[in-house]
Amino acid sequence: MTPFLLAFLVGLLSALHCLGMCGGIVGALTFSLPIETRRDWPRLVLFLLTYNAGRVASYALAGAAFGWLGQAVMATGPAAWPHRVLQWLAALVMVGIGLYIAGWFPRFAQVERIGEPLWQRLEPVGRRLLPVATLPRALIYGAVWGWLPCGLVYTMLLATPAQGGPAAGALYMALFGLGTLPAMLAVGLLAGRLHAWARNRKVQMAAGLSVIALGLFTLVFQGYNGPTF
């Protein structure tokens, strides 16, 4: 399984977290649209896609920055061992994300504090864009929204340096963002109706265990290939 497919699957399986973290934001944005837009489903979907295009673009930008950082780290030593260390770190991050989604490791969200200073500067910008009544505003608002402090997003960024450079880092985070798209579209179209499902402990545990399995699979795969130091 390629790391890019893994990023997309983690995005899909993180639907519960996305509903809890961003469901209120998307619901509020949906209800802030003119009633004519809300009743016109094709136009509503267009607005939701535009919001999310901005959000995914921000993820890709952050991924490019972290990919560049990983490239710089790999340039500090022999070609093999820095990359292998970053690969193992990425796999352990996946396991941590699974524990977080399942509700067994809530402190994992403390990574959100890293982005709080930046968000304090960006949040007023997003507020000034409300109400979001045009598609360009929706795109810009989505780009601002993409920097919302989110433990899951920031944790995925910790796995991004292992991907091999800015372009690969951008693709990795963009695919993760695309994986979250179905959940974000659903909560926008069905505003407020999915929260009971998202709070279901069995569903949370199933999603978390699936991500843990992906992380363990990656760890075993890395171990099978053997460390190269």
pLDDT in tens, 6-43: 889 888 877 666 666 666 677 777 777 888 887 888 88
d(CA 55, CA 58): 5
Predicted TM-score (pTM) of the model is 0.76
d(CA 74, CA 157): 17
DSSP 3-state of 19: helix
What band does 229 get if pLDDT is binned at 50, 70 and 90? very low
Tens digits of per-residue pLDDT, 44-103? 889 999 999 999 999 999 999 999 988 887 776 655 566 666 667 767 777 776 777 677
Nearest to 2 by CA among 196, 206, 172, 226: 172
Nearest to 33 by CA among 137, 185, 123, 124: 137
How many residues are present in the chain? 229
Nearest 5°: phi and psi at 180?
-80, -10
The parent domain of residue 35 ranges over 3-225
d(CA 114, CA 108): 12
Take residue 147 and report the two structure tokens written for it.
């920097």
The amino acid sitting at 19 is L
The amino acid sitting at 60 is A
Tell me how many domains the chain contains.
1
Per the CB < 8 A criterion, the answer to whether 71 and 165 are in contact is yes
Per the CB < 8 A criterion, the answer to whether 111 and 151 are in contact is yes
